[in-house]
């Protein structure tokens, strides 16, 4: 079977030359799956700006398409303009545009309050140069006033000039399907690609899910928790659950899959193999 919908892989920037060399190996292993692009996260308040730019540059130089994430909270228009110019100079034409979260201790929100303002700014400064992805939250963003307000905010952000969206990861397919349905009912039918989180380590996943508002269903949490230090069993169940989720998403018409690789290739490759992606 050949997958017709595009897949993409997310990395975080590395801090050392050794880390960068390891990440290049991961990237090359994943390249057999012919991803549409590799995205690279951006630290809160611009803390990884240099690492993000270096990582997308090396992806580009290796002949692949790269999409830096760019968060705007705590930034000035001048600062964002400079980054956009740098990205254009190195041949980047795709961005994941985010508000981000202010690092603890920082109070100055800067000149952008929400991601829709960043999308508008990118469009007003660079026209149609960039393909802009934004973030979507099928299980509702943790700071949203309520689910309807979050949906309205998401649609405002898409209408500000985004081309498509990538979701926060989720384990319950209904959350995604209801979200897509609500967007369509509101007249928004741009592609919303599910973000896929491979399961390899329960305690890390539980901590992270708490923080970003992604729900691990009780049955799954209990099973994974019950395996304790038995990493092999956690990985085996994780592989089965995530492969099934991806299969169901594709069958339901998801326009692609975006994998949160955590800079590892093995589990993502195994999931794709289970899906018959070559
Ligand atoms: P927004 O779309 O601005 O939404 C933030 C909150 O404000 C929501 O509750 C929304 O309902 C509300 N809101 C939006 N607009 C308005 C408005 N006009 N008026 C009132 N309320 C409004 N974080 C990083 O630091 N670096 C990354 O690289 C990164 N990559 C990510 C990639 C993906 C695919 C996803 C899903 C998340 C990523 N994040 C990243 C996390 C993200 O930065 C946080 O979830 C952040 O809290 C929200 O960013 P946003 O762009 O979704 O914000």
Segment 233-257 shows an average pLDDT of: 98
* Residue 4 pLDDT grade (very low, low, confident, very high; cuts 50, 70, 90): confident
**Residue-wise pLDDT tens digits, 159-199:** 999 999 999 999 999 999 999 999 999 999 999 999 999 99
Supply 100's token pair.
Answer: 């981000």
Nearest Cα residue to atom 41 of ligand 1 = 100
**Is the distance from the beta carbon of residue 141 to the nearest atom of ligand 1 less than 6 Å?**
yes
Q: How close is the Cα of 13 to the center of ligand 1, in Å? A: 19
Is the pLDDT score of 147 beyond 60? yes
State the average pLDDT over residues 253-258: 98
Q: Which residue has the tokens 């690609």?
A: 193
The predicted pLDDT at position 1 comes to 46
Q: How far apart are CA 224 and CA 277, in angstroms?
A: 27
Place of tokens 């089965």: 240
pLDDT digits (tens, 9 = 90+) for 121-146: 999 999 999 999 999 999 999 999 99
CA distance 261 to 38: 10
What value does the mean pLDDT of the chain take? 96
CA distances (Å), 164 to each of 4, 13, 85, 110, in order? Answer: 17, 23, 22, 26
* Cβ neighbours for 218, distance < 8 A, ≥ 6 positions apart: none
Measured from the CA of 149, which atom of ligand 1 is nearest?
A: 11
Mean pLDDT of 42-47: 83
Q: Which atom of ligand 1 is nearest to the CA of 212?
A: 45
* Mean pLDDT to the nearest integer, 11-15: 95
In a 3-state reduction of DSSP, which class is residue 65? coil
Our answer on whether the CB atom of 99 is closer than 6 Å to any ligand 1 atom is yes
CA of 232 to the centre of ligand 1 (A): 34
Residue 68 Cβ < 6 Å to ligand 1: no
Rounded distance between C-alpha atoms, residue 277 and residue 61, angstroms = 25
SS3 245: helix
> How many C-beta atoms surround the C-beta of residue 174 within 10 A?
9
Instruction: Please report, in angstroms and rounded to a whole number, the separation of the first and last CA atoms in the chain.
Output: 8
Q: Which range among 2-11, 17-26, 60-69, 198-207 shows the weakest confidence by mean pLDDT? A: 2-11
Q: What dihedral do alpha carbons 263, 254, 119, 101 form, nearest 10°? A: -50
Predicted local confidence at residue 149, as pLDDT = 98
- How do residues 71-120 score in pLDDT, each as one tens digit? 999 999 999 999 999 999 999 999 999 999 988 888 889 999 999 999 99
Query: Domains in the chain and their CATH numbers?
Result: 7-201+238-274 (3.20.20.220)
pLDDT at 3: 61
Residue 103: predicted pLDDT? 85
State pLDDT tens for residues 198-230. Answer: 999 999 999 999 999 999 999 999 999 999 999
pTM beyond 0.95:
yes
Phi and psi at 253, nearest 5°, equal 100, 15
């Amino acid at each position: 079977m050949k997958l017709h919908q595009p897949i993409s892989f997310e990395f975080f920037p590395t801090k050392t030359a050794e880390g960068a060399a390891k990440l290049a190996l991961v990237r090359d292993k994943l390249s057999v799956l012919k991803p549409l692009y590799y995205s690279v996260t951006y630290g809160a308040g611009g803390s990884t700006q240099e690492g993000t730019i270096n990582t997308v540059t090396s992806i580009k130089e290796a002949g692949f398409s790269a999409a830096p994430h760019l968060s705007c909270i705590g930034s000035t228009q001048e600062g964002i303009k400079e980054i956009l110019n740098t990205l254009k100079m190195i041949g980047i034409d795709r961005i994941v545009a985010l508000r981000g979260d202010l690092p603890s201790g920082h109070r100055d929100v800067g000149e952008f309050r929400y991601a829709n303002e960043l999308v508008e700014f990118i469009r007003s400064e660079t026209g149609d140069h960039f393909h802009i992805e934004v973030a979507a939250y099928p299980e509702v963003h943790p700071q949203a006033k309520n689910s309807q307000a979050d949906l309205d905010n998401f649609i405002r952000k898409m209408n500000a000039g985004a081309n498509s969206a990538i979701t926060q990861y989720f384990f319950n397919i209904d959350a995604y399907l209801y979200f897509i349905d609500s967007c369509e009912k509101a007249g928004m039918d741009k592609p919303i690609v599910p973000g896929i989180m491979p399961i390899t380590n329960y305690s890390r996943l539980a901590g992270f899910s708490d923080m970003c508002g992604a729900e691990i269903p009780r049955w799954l949490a209990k099973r994974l928790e019950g395996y304790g230090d038995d990493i092999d069993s956690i990985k085996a169940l994780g592989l089965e659950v995530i492969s099934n989720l991806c299969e169901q998403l594709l069958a339901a018409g998801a326009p692609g899959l975006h994998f949160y690789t955590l800079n590892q290739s093995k589990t993502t490759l195994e999931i794709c193999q289970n899906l018959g992606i070559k």
